[in-house]
Amino acid sequence: MSSFLSYLISGISLGSVYAIIALGYTMVYGIAKMLNFAHGDVIMVGGYIAFICFTELGVPPVICILAAMIGCLVLGVVIERIAYKPLRGASSLSVLITAIGVSYFLQNSALIIFGADSKTFTSLISIPSISLMGGDVIISGVTIASIIACIVIVAALMAFINKTKAGQAMLAVSEDTGAATLMGIDVNRTIALTFAIGSALAGIAGVLLCSAYPTLSSQTGAMPGIKAFTAAVFGGIGSIPGAMIGGMVMGIVENLSKAYISSQLSDAIVFALLIVILLVRPTGLMGKNIQEKV
């Protein structure tokens, strides 16, 4: 029982990181109707910013996390302005190819700047561990931080979207871009704000991911990015609560699969689960069916 609880808590922690990453995917798709496959590599950039601030500059951990958030925020806005804004009216295939190109550009830039050798990332989380069941179950500080961060971020995003003028503008753009424009909403600014928020979250996710799995390289964000996108689809892409639920389920299934079935097959099991869910419910767990007018 104690081992199962340990695996479950670790899965929730991993799922929390997936959920934070998935929020970036689901917000950008829900509002801009595009898949930003470079999002996973923004995570890697956030990890490198925190690594340099802490290891090379000796900056306090809180400032390192803020620097990662701000750096990724600026990067996200620049990517949107240079790569995606000119393609606003282009086909989805053109945008998809551009996103893949941006992803490879970020990966190879990191490879040139930081080299091919992996870096050992020192955890920036100083929260003490908690022991349960007489010490049989130990919850690390990174696990606690990941779960709390996920819950707080989701709650803050829901409040931001439902209670603020900028959030209402995002909802309007996600419903109908043309109507939002006619009502005086600056669509370009709203989409840029969406990229800024999603990229800042990627910076947080990069710090949490590298603190839990202390290896940093140019490929760090690739697989987590794909899994987080899968989590967003699983929960219903475009839905913030769906991204959280999808990320949690993905993390739990992956961890339990590694523990009780096979570490080599865990990824296959996760993606197989996604296929089954989409066969039963094509819009994901919390996705909405959209009826197009003809």
Distance, in Å, from the CA atom of 147 to the CA atom of 150, rounded to the nearest integer, reads: 5
- Alpha carbon of residue 9 to chain centroid: 19
- Give the HSE-up count for residue 75: Cα atoms under 13 Å, Cβ half-sphere: 26
- DSSP string covering 98-148, please? HHHHHHHHHHHHHHHHH-SSPEEPPP---PPPEEEGGGTEEE-HHHHHHHH
Average of per-residue pLDDT across 279-287: 79
pLDDT exceeds 80 at position 132: no
pLDDT digit string, tens, across residues 45-99: 999 999 999 998 888 999 999 999 999 999 999 999 999 888 887 888 888 899 9
DSSP 55: I
Distance, in Å, from the CA atom of 291 to the CA atom of 89, rounded to the nearest integer, reads: 21
Distance, in Å, from the CA atom of 126 to the CA atom of 107, rounded to the nearest integer, reads: 29
Question: Which amino acid is present at 239?
Answer: S
pLDDT exceeds 70 at position 15: yes
Q: Which residues pair with 131 in a beta bridge?
A: 138
pLDDT digit string, tens, across residues 189-210: 999 999 999 999 999 999 999 9
- In the block, residue with structure tokens 């829900």: 30
Return all residues near 13 (Cβ < 8 A) that are at least 6 apart. Answer: 140, 142, 143, 146, 147, 212, 251
Q: In the chain, what are the domain boundaries? A: 2-115+141-280
Q: Which residues pair with 130 in a beta bridge?
A: 139
Question: Which amino acid is present at 144?
Answer: I
The mean of the pLDDT values for the chain is 87
Distance, in Å, from the CA atom of 243 to the CA atom of 27, rounded to the nearest integer, reads: 9
Nearest 5°: CA angle at 188, between 198 and 182? 130
Distance, in Å, from the CA atom of 137 to the CA atom of 99, rounded to the nearest integer, reads: 42
pLDDT band at 29 (very low <50, low <70, confident <90, very high): confident
Average of per-residue pLDDT across 127-149: 84
Q: What architecture (CATH level 2) is domain 2-115+141-280?
A: Orthogonal Bundle (1.10)
Average of per-residue pLDDT across 230-242: 86
Among the residue ranges 104-108, 132-136, 174-178, 280-284, the one predicted with the least confidence is: 132-136
Tokens of 195: 């990229």
pLDDT band at 293 (very low <50, low <70, confident <90, very high): very low
Report the interhelical angle of 187-212 vs 165-175 (nearest 10°). 100
Closest to 45 in 3D by CA, of 82, 15, 16, 70:
70
**What pLDDT, on a 0 to 100 scale, did the predictor assign at position 76?**
93
Closest to 201 in 3D by CA, of 228, 183, 176:
228
Residue 125: how many CB atoms within 10 A of its CB?
Answer: 18
Return all residues near 275 (Cβ < 8 A) that are at least 6 apart. Answer: none
CA distances from 29 to 36, 41, 243, 262 (A): 8, 17, 12, 33
Q: Determine contact, residues 254/21, Cβ cutoff 8 Å.
A: no
